[in-house]
Structure 1
Amino acid sequence: MRAPFRFPEDLITLQQAWQETYAALAQAPAGAGTTALRRRLISLSARLCTHPYWTEPAGWRAGGVELRHAAHTHTPAAGREAAA
Structure 2
Amino acid sequence: MSRSIGKVAYRPVGVLLGIAAGTVAGAIFRQVWKVTAGDGEAPNATDEDRGWGEILAAAALQGAIFAVVRAAVDRGGAVGVRRMTGHWPD
TM range (shorter): 0.3 to 0.5
State the TM-score, normalized to the length of structure 2.
Answer: 0.37
- Larger Cα-atom Rg: 2
